[in-house]
Amino acid sequence: QVQLVESGGGLVQAGGSLRLSCAASGRTFSNNAMGWFRHAPGNEREFVAAITWSGIYTSYAESVKGRFTISRDNAKNTVYLQLNSLKPEDTAVYSCAADQIYRRWPPTSYYYWGQGTQVTVSS
């Protein structure tokens, strides 16, 4: 059974930082793009960042460019999202996702999804 499990969320003041992790189990994703999404109450789920299987190429939403950094460690089957200079509008449930297509970039859909971790930024 394939699972993606996020961790690292929490409550932080504006301007603070968090590091989210997404650990995969059940299969390896070393040849698959992975991404992070977020969903705030009353809003649609939105794309945050994505990374290729090698980690060489990344993509970010305009709203997080320069503040968030996606990375991965294929030896640990884990993808990370470093969140810096957090703003109250970054408050959301952050979920990771994995593309099931071998070395597709950019991903046009994601097949595997985690349950998410809550990030709350106070002003």
C-alpha gyration radius of the chain: 14
For the chain, list residues with pLDDT below 70. Answer: none
| pLDDT for 27 | 95
CA distance 37 to 70: 12
Does residue 89 sit in helix, strand or coil?
helix
β-strand partners of 78? 23, 73
| pLDDT for 103 | 96
